[in-house]
Amino acid sequence: MAESPGSENLNARVAALRQQIQEHNHRYYVLNDPTVPDGEYDRLMRELEALEREHPELDDPDSPTHRVGAKIEDGFDSVVHHTPMLSLANAFDDEEVAQFDQRIRDQLDLDELNYLAEPKLDGLAISLRYQHGRLALAATRGDGRTGEDVTANVRTIRSIPLTVSDSGLPEQFEVRGEIFMSRSGFAELNQRLKRQDEKPFVNPRNAASGTLRQLDPAITADRPLRFFAYAAIDLEQDQDSSPQTLTCQSAVLQRLADIGFPVSPLVQSVSGLQGLLDYHARIADQRDALDYDIDGVVYKLDDFEQQLEMGYVSRSPRWALAHKFPAEEAITRLRDIDVQVGRTGKLTPVARLEPVFVGGVTVTNATLHNLDEIRRKDVRVGDQVIVRRAGDVIPEVVRAMVERRSEDLAEWQLPSHCPVCNSRVEQVEGQADARCSGGLVCAAQRKRALEHFASRTAMDIDGLGSKLIEQLVDQELVHDLSDLYGLDVETLTSLDRMGQKSAENLAASIDRSRRPQLGRLLFALGIREVGEVSAQLLARHFGTLDALMAADTEALQAVDEIGPIVAGHVHEFFNEAANRAVIQKLLDAGVEWQAEAVRETGSRPLDGKTFVLTGRLEQLKRSEAKGRLEQLGARVSGSVSKSTHALIAGADPGSKLDRAESLKVPVIDEADLLELLAGLEQ
């Protein structure tokens, strides 16, 4: 134990120790430039630990000694992101990058654009929320809207500041970035795990993911995680910065670096298409020499005003792009070809391979798409084949190495009957796909249909996973979708690995799903080619399921964005007697969708008007406000432009309010919104 500091002021000594240790952490983990040996660092840490132990009144949750944190007993709480953590569109060649640049130049009517380019780290996206200069919350990306609270673990990562001391910072702001593990740290960790007779990780990203999601933060603290910041939210309200300094992405990254956040040293401002392509080539050349894995580079429009004007599409911004590196390839032997059956009966040939290490993982299976692809690539069982992880995600067989074929191998034939239910296989006319004709008689289709039905974006039945569905179908407990609503706790507890509490929770989740929005139910039914957006469009147009079931293909095509193919699939689905029978059984089981009022296209009071929401609403959830506006015909956008009809500003509005005022867009508060809705929904 360290000696007492005697007459020295304890508060001053503890503050000095914390400051020194934080500075050493920053130099070691952020700047990679330590100024003291490990022994001296350890001595300072031990002294601080001793003082805090002897004088508990001096303890502080933000002390470097608390980076291990407290053990989390019950897993991770969910966190709703104030601003969604969107994904990025991908490009795999120079032509796609050129198209990206051209689209932006056309929309902004500019000859050349300024971008910020940075490496695309192969790690985990994280959101860090700071309040009054202290790290208050850390959340994983999750599904983009809801992540996991991993604050206790993130507090152990020494390159992430627990506090930021700067009087000019706003009271609350958010920093986003990537948590990753270096290659050298990964190698050292695996060596340590092997010495402890523990299973090593397969690659740095898996190691980082497994480390961040440990329930015991002490384990996270003992592993070499790092962090690079790449964005911030609400930092433009910085009190010390003039309105001109944080109007672009490069200025934000510089500000983050100035206040102590690690930023990739490879970030660079570039101009025009050639600047993007040159940067990609330079980083590709450096890739193998880096001490961390990257799988491409990211381009972002630098100017925030230009970003706002470009806006967003689906789940990604129009002003950013991930330019991936060429996929990694390897050679292995094709052992066999199996057939998988999907929820719509589609048969997909799957290559069974001799295990091969590709793109950081061991691959044993790869897609062959369909019979036409197998014939085109001349792939035969027994061949040596080239395997690629397309986009570094989905393994696929690129081609057979016919030049190495040493014997007369037979062509593979598509089975005439389903390998699961023995029903006849039908080749779809004019298409490469083949399908099992068994429908829900086929256990494979039943399982996939149930997985889709229970998924978060469909009926959202929490706890009904694929392994449980396997048991329900294999034990003949569920024959179609409606049978889910006949399951009781006693039946569920009879299944493997299903305890009383889990069974009660699942039964409650099934019961809660009985009143879905009509669009969710349509999506959950699994109609071919009908995704989430199409299902919402159909629900809003027809209002009730009865009206939709009675529609012919002409009426279906009258719906915005519904073409002849989707209309044909919808009409065919509802004309099938077996499908109508399942829908009736769902009704009989107590499933009641929330119908929507029917209005003729063009007659809704807010048709053609665009609204934007910002800030915190007190009486309405943001999703509720958005839904009610859309039912009245409005479009709810994420960015303010000259065409915005009005900005709805709640408490603590962000930069959208400034944008609206600069464009002279009308601004209304929540009371105005409620009055508007009340007057139009009558």
Give tens-digit pLDDT for 33-56.
555 555 467 678 778 888 888 888
Residue span of the structural domain in which 576 resides = 518-588
Whole-angstrom Cα distance, residue 72 to residue 65? 18
Q: List the structure tokens of 588.
A: 């009989």
Give residue 25's Cα distance to chain centre.
31
Instruction: Catalogue the E-assigned strands of 495-620.
Output: 610-614
| Residues 212 and 290 reside in one and the same domain | yes
Read off the pTM. 0.54
Based on the fold, state whether residues 548 and 624 are members of the same structural domain: no
* 3-state secondary structure (DSSP) of residue 334: strand
* pLDDT score for 242: 45
To which H or E segment does residue 493 belong? helix 489-493
Place of tokens 């991993």: 150
Residue 76 lies in a domain: no
What amino acid occupies position 51?
A: L
Q: Reply yes or no on whether the pLDDT at 286 is more than 60.
A: yes
Kindly indicate the confidence band of residue 658, based on its pLDDT and cuts at 50, 70 and 90.
confident
pLDDT at 488 over 60: yes
User: Which CATH number does the domain housing residue 18 bear?
Assistant: 1.10.287.610
Cβ 472 vs Cβ 495: under 8 Å: yes
Domain with residue 415: its CATH number is 2.40.50.140
Residue 403: C-alpha distances to residues 366, 376, 378, 400, 407 (Å):
21, 16, 12, 9, 11
- Model pLDDT, residue 165: 83
**Residue 627, pLDDT score:** 74
Any domain includes 136: yes
In the predicted structure, residue 270 carries a pLDDT above the cut 90: yes
339 occurs within a structural domain:
yes
Q: What's the pLDDT band for 97 if we cut at 50, 70, 90?
A: very high
**In terms of domains, do 130 and 183 share one?**
yes
Of the three residues 512, 531, 558, the one that is the final residue of a domain is 512
The answer to the question of residue 598 being in a domain is no
The residue type at 650: G
Same domain, residue pair 558 and 529: yes
- The last residue of one of the domains, among 262, 291, 324, is 324
Instruction: Report the number of distinct structural domains present in the chain.
Output: 6
Give the domain-ending residue among 526, 558, 588: 588
How many Cα atoms occupy the beta-carbon half-sphere of 106 within 13 Å? 7
E strand or H helix at 468, and its extent?
Answer: helix 466-474
* Out of 1-5, 316-320, 433-437, 619-623, least confident range: 1-5
Give the number of other Cβ atoms within 10 Å of residue 91's Cβ: 21
Tally of CB atoms within 10 A around 118: 23
Residues 103 and 207 in one domain: yes
CATH code assigned at 151? 3.30.470.30
Q: Which residues have C-beta within 8 Å of that of residue 141, sequence separation ≥ 6? A: 85, 124, 125, 126, 127, 147
Residue 459 sits in a domain whose CATH number is: 1.10.150.20
On whether both 262 and 147 belong to a single domain, the answer is: yes
Instruction: Band the pLDDT of 335: cuts 50, 70, 90.
Output: very high
pLDDT digits (tens, 9 = 90+) for 453-484: 999 889 999 999 999 999 999 999 999 899 99
**Could you read off the pLDDT of 552-584 as tens digits, one per residue?**
999 999 887 788 889 998 998 899 888 888 899
| Confidence at residue 32, expressed as pLDDT on a 0 to 100 scale | 44
Query: CA 312, 314, 317, 319: dihedral to nearest 10 degrees?
Result: -70
Question: In angstroms, rounded to a whole number, what is the distance separating the alpha carbons of residues 352 and 380?
Answer: 12
How many separate helices (H) and strands (E) can be counted in the chain?
24, 24
Q: Please check the confidence at residue 209 and state whether its pLDDT lies above 90.
A: no
133 and 278 in a common domain: yes
- Looking at the structure, do residues 307 and 254 belong to the same domain, yes or no? yes
Is 364's pLDDT higher than 90?
yes
- pLDDT for 100-116, tens place per residue? 999 999 999 999 999 99
Residues 209 and 155 in one domain: yes
Q: What pLDDT shows up at residue 553? A: 93
Select from 645, 147, 121, 103 the least CA-distant residue to 320: 103
**Residue 74 resides in a domain:** no
Would you tell me how many other CB atoms lie within 10 Å of the CB of residue 1? 10
Secondary structure (3-state) at 223: coil
**Same domain for 393 and 276?**
no
Residue 72 covered by a domain = no
Catalytic residue among 120, 324, 346, 447: 120
Assigned domain for 595 exists:
no
Report H helices in 233-370.
249-258, 272-286, 304-310
Whether residue 112 is found in the same domain as residue 209: yes
For residue 435, what are the contacts with CB-CB under 8 A and spacing of at least 6?
344, 345, 346, 347, 425, 426, 428
What's residue 5's pLDDT?
46
- What percentage of the chain's residues is helix, strand, coil (to nearest 5)? 40, 20, 40
Question: Do the beta carbons of residue 77 and residue 94 sit within 8 Å?
Answer: no
pLDDT at position 73: 41
Q: Is residue 474 part of a domain?
A: yes
Residue 31 has pLDDT above 50, yes or no: yes
Residues 271, 357, single domain; the answer is no
377 part of the active site: no
Pairing of strands 312-313, 384-390: unpaired
